[in-house]
Amino acid sequence: MCELLGMNSSKPAALNFSFAGFSERGGRTGEHRDGWGIAFHEPAGCRLIIDDRPSIDSPLAHALKHNPVKAKNVVAHIRKATEGEVAPQNSHPFTRVLWGTTWSFAHNGNLSTFRPAPDPHFVPAGETDSERAFCYLLAGLRRRFPVQPPSRAALFIAVQTMAAVIARHGTFNFILSNGDFLLAHCSTQLHYVVRAYPFASASLVDCDLQIDFRQHNHLDDQIVVIATLPLTTGEQWHRFEPGELKLFSGGAPLAVHPGPGSDSGSKPLRLLMSY
């Protein structure tokens, strides 16, 4: 199986500490040697870096650790191939444009029986089940909301509905972002940690590296890091429930609840902060 890494922050932030541990799993502490990639959602657009080499041996990954990129939303992936050859076009994250915005997506799991009808607007460039699932999600959103993006709550419900359909075909852990917020879905295992005041010190599980976040953050900074398995000790990681979809914005998880008097999703929904 592959592994996932994501970040959602209240301000542009660097993910280099977490990425340093995560990249070790791409060939040294883990078996995910079939490529890696990372998408940074910056104000000017989405910057995508992909490589079909193991992250532990990749000059691009090495450069990234020493020249961190700041962004509010980041989606990263290390691959252990199940479908599709080891090639750049099969490395996650995948990106596509919907409603004039670039979306990024990375998946952990296997969906060998998922063969949806092709959509002319979102055609996979590679051979992976993961990219097929991504195209299916975006095509479904476009059909539901053809003119403009819906509210976050309506989009959440739509993604939740489609994710449940896809998950019938296998394991569907994924991270999806449009640069404004980040969605994460758990089929088997996924974890997250909130880094906020008063902050803590943490040590990476996969290499000998420690950090005191109090020395690197302001009082109003808030960051969520999502990973397949916890990357650190010394801070509290929360486990997703199987089948759970979470939305993160501003460095915090948001809970979707029906609005007053709502029935069957026909009335407005509201998003509440959830810590």
Instruction: Summarize pLDDT for 189-220 with one digit per residue, the tens.
Output: 999 999 999 999 999 999 999 999 998 888 89
Contact between residue 192 and residue 231 where contact means Cβ atoms under 8 Å apart = no
Please report how many Cα atoms fall inside a 13 Å half-sphere around the Cα of residue 246, on the Cβ side.
28
Position 261 pLDDT exceeds 80: no
- CA gap 192, 184 in Å, rounded: 10
What pLDDT score does 257 carry? Answer: 65
C-alpha angle 62/60/70, rounded to 5°?
80
Q: Kindly state the helix (H) or strand (E) to which residue 59 belongs, with its residue range.
A: helix 59-66
What is the SS3 assignment for 9?
Answer: strand
The pLDDT, as a whole number, for residue 256 is 75
* Percent of the chain at pLDDT exceeding 70: 93
Cα distance between residue 184 and residue 105, in whole Å? 10
Most distant pair of Cα atoms in the chain: their distance: 55
Burial of 3 per CB tally in 10 Å (0-12, 13-18, 19+):
buried
Say yes or no to pLDDT of 260 above 70: no
Residue 50, beta-bridge partner list: 37
Residue 236, exposed/middle/buried by CB under 10 A (0-12, 13-18, 19+)? exposed
Confidence category of residue 232, pLDDT binned at 50, 70, 90: very high
- Residues annotated as part of the active site: 2
pLDDT at 79 over 80: yes
Provide the token pair at 119. Answer: 């959509």
* Alpha-carbon span 187 to 143, nearest angstrom: 25
For 3-273, which CATH superfamily applies?
Aminohydrolase, N-terminal nucleophile (Ntn) domain (3.60.20.10)
Distance (Å, rounded) from C-alpha 172 to C-alpha 164?
Answer: 9
The mean pLDDT value for 147-154 works out to: 94
pLDDT band with cut points at 50, 70 and 90 for residue 166:
very high
What interhelical angle do 59-66 and 16-24 show, nearest 10? 150
pLDDT digit string, tens, across residues 44-54? 999 999 999 99
pLDDT at 273: 39
| CA gap 108, 111 in Å, rounded | 10
Q: How far is CA 75 from the centre of its chain?
A: 4
Comparing 50-59, 86-95, 256-265, which segment has the lowest mean pLDDT?
256-265
Mean pLDDT, the chain, as a whole number? 92
CA atoms in the 13 A half-sphere facing the CB of 164: 8
The closest alpha carbon to 52, from 73, 75, 78, 76, belongs to 78
pLDDT band of residue 258 (cuts 50, 70, 90) is: low
| Residue spans per domain, the chain | 3-273
Residue count of the chain: 275
pLDDT value at residue 51: 96
| pTM tops 0.85 | yes
pLDDT, position 75: 98
User: Three-state DSSP class for 213?
Assistant: helix
Task: Flag whether pLDDT at 274 surpasses 60.
Answer: no
DSSP label at residue 270: E
Percent share of the chain, pLDDT over 90: 84
Task: Round to whole Å and give the CA distance between 248 and 214.
Answer: 22
pLDDT tens-digit readout, 19-34: 999 999 999 999 999 9
